[in-house]
Amino acid sequence: MPTVRDVREQAGEEPITMLTAYDAPTAEIVDDAGVDIILVGDSVGNVVLGHETTVPVTVDGIAHHVGAVSRATDDALVVADMPFLSFGVDESESIENAGRMLKEEGAQAVKLESGPHTVDLTEKMVQLGIPVMAHLGLTPQHVNQYGGYPRQGTDQAAAERMLELAIEHEEAGAFSLVLEHVPSNVAAEITEALDIPTIGIGAGPNCDGQVLVFDDAVGISEWTPSFSEQFGNVRTEMESAVDDYVDAVESGTFPAEEHSHEESDLEDLY
């Protein structure tokens, strides 16, 4: 299993692969494929639980999924995504929530949607033994502030501030940085400026690694962001399998003789 130090040392050396997973079967598939990092994302809210955003995800909810993924993972580094208002409000509560993901649910690190309010918190968590993955650019927990999911860092001041925050989080001890939905040239400059690896999603090819939502990558989602890519068509296969099941039951071809067992020693029940 890679450690956070291993991931940190991949910066500029070997591309980092990261995918989300929210349950044990998915985690097994991702882990067996040799993916470096599994992110138990708060994207579980809109990908799995039917919410429109990630905001409703709770600490108990994310812990439930982190435990399932951790129990099924042998090789990848498991990172727990800390949900909305689980951090950054009260320091002791933030640390307790993050520590729970390692101590009780088996994650090896947490991810914080970062800003000026998470620099000192990142340093404190790292001092206490909680590795932190920072996250800048589009931070989906701010959807109500953004009014959607717009690209970030598109003007000079915003790009410069993002670079400053990236450096501040590196200095605070973050072992890596997710850059989401930012111009590729901004991501490239931030990557060049840091010693820790950047992991991009909608941030171009010049980051040290890439992350996608599992359902987008394998083709389960009906809709995917423009910066994503479907590397399979699992949704069509699932639909076909369910259609075939319904047809088999309705036509009487399932269950067949090989799917049943008759106990010959039983007497008539009445």
**Long-range pairs, 19-23, Cβ under 8 A, ≥24:** 19/211, 19/212, 19/213, 19/214, 19/217, 20/44, 20/47, 20/211, 20/212, 20/213, 20/214, 20/215, 21/69, 21/214, 22/47, 22/48, 22/65, 22/68, 22/69, 22/214, 23/65, 23/68, 23/69, 23/72
d(CA 196, CA 11) in angstroms, rounded, equals 6
Active-site position among 180, 192, 222, 262 = 180
Residue 59 burial (10 A CB sphere; 0-12, 13-18, 19+): buried
Residue 160 among known ligand-binding residues: no
Known catalytic residue at 180: yes
Residue 43 among known ligand-binding residues: yes
Residue 42 among known ligand-binding residues: yes
CB contact set of 213 (below 8 Å; sequence gap of 6+) = 19, 20, 41, 43, 47, 221, 228
* b/e code 9-22 from CB counts within 10 Å (16+ = b): bbbeeeebbbbbbb
Output the known binding site. Answer: 42-43, 81, 111, 113
Output the known binding site for Mg(2+). Answer: 42, 81, 113
Residues recognised as catalytic: 180
Output the known binding site for 3-methyl-2-oxobutanoate. Answer: 42-43, 81, 111
